[in-house]
Amino acid sequence: MTSKNTIFAHTNKNANRMTALYFKEIRSFLSSLMGYVIILVFLIAISLFLWVFPTEFNIFDYGYANLDGLFVIAPFVFLFLVPSLTMRSFAEEKKSGTIELLYTRPLTDMEIIRAKFMASFTLIIIALIPTLIYYLTVYTLGFPPGNIDSGSIWGSYIGLLFLGGAFTAIGIFTSSVSDNQVTSFVIAVILSAFIYLGFELIYSLDLFGSVDLFIRSLGISAHYSSISRGVIDTRDVVYFLSLIVLFLYLTKFSLSRRKW
């Protein structure tokens, strides 16, 4: 019984330390002006496309009460937003020399990685919350008010969260392989863009016959589009969770190689 209590106490202490690191990461980001600028730029960019620019995504010009434009534009903005949030995760620690101090914490590599991942993911949620105003606005503008496919919209929000989680895991990984934040940012953008659109592009070339659909299923776009229809398919959920876990473990492998 004592042994079980000891294990429970040890696990509880580690959870508390991981939580402390999680909040430290969030405070560190929000204590700088850059953090607010990144989130503000995201919201302004989305707003301009939905309400101002005369594009096919403009809600007033489109004439229908839906938010399809938001969920088409947001992934492309995420390609730059998420790497901006994650590029400092490990790159800054290594550049400033605080990575050694981080390793002295009584936490495993995976616990440190999870804390940083969850902190960045929380910031993505914070950036998305104001966009709910768009939903309320379109809901009100519908004729009659409320004439909107809410199921599809909430499904699309869930898709955005999965997408944000995948990009976050990729960004955390690229931050672990570079000592420079800008390099980490660039690699994250390129890698995220390839996994999001690259397989879709290969599929569109129709080069591999019956294997084309499998190649398409390796990319994020196919699974994001599926969830955005408002139907949560287990295969899509498993894909996103597997992608997140893969890059978190690649991060662990990258960090373990750099230890002296």
pTM of the predicted structure, to 2 decimals: 0.88
Per-residue pLDDT tens over the stretch 50-81: 888 887 777 777 666 678 888 889 999 999 99
pLDDT of residue 241: 96
What is the share, in percent, of the chain residues with pLDDT greater than 90? 36
pLDDT of residue 206: 72
With 50 as the cut, is the pLDDT of residue 260 above it?
Answer: no
Which residues have a Cβ under 8 Å from the Cβ of 187 and sit 6 or more positions away? 174, 177, 178
> How confident is residue 224, by pLDDT bands cut at 50, 70 and 90?
very high
Identify the residue with better confidence: 73 or 98. 73
Range from 114-123, 143-152, 178-187 carrying the lowest mean pLDDT = 143-152
Q: What's the rounded Cα separation, in Å, for the pair 129 and 157?
A: 10
Mean of per-residue pLDDT scores for the chain = 84
Q: Name the one residue in this structure whose structure tokens are 């901006």.
A: 84
Residue 95: exposure state from Cβ atoms within 10 A (0-12, 13-18, ≥19) = middle
Identify the residue with better confidence: 101 or 76. 76
pLDDT of residue 194: 95
Q: Name the one residue in this structure whose structure tokens are 């939580």.
A: 19
Average pLDDT over residues 249-260: 80
Taking residue 84's Cβ as centre, other Cβ atoms within 10 Å add up to 21
With 60 as the cut, is the pLDDT of residue 25 above it?
Answer: yes
What region does 183 belong to: left with phi over 0, alpha with psi -120 to 50, or beta? alpha
Range from 158-172, 200-214, 227-241 carrying the lowest mean pLDDT = 200-214
DSSP-derived 3-state class of residue 246: helix
Identify the residue with better confidence: 258 or 121. 121
With 50 as the cut, is the pLDDT of residue 245 above it?
Answer: yes
Average pLDDT over residues 183-208: 89
With 80 as the cut, is the pLDDT of residue 121 above it?
Answer: yes
pLDDT of residue 12: 63
pLDDT of residue 183: 93
Residue 156: exposure state from Cβ atoms within 10 A (0-12, 13-18, ≥19) = buried
pLDDT of residue 6: 47
Two tokens at 81? 């937003």
Identify the residue with better confidence: 25 or 3. 25
pLDDT of residue 14: 62
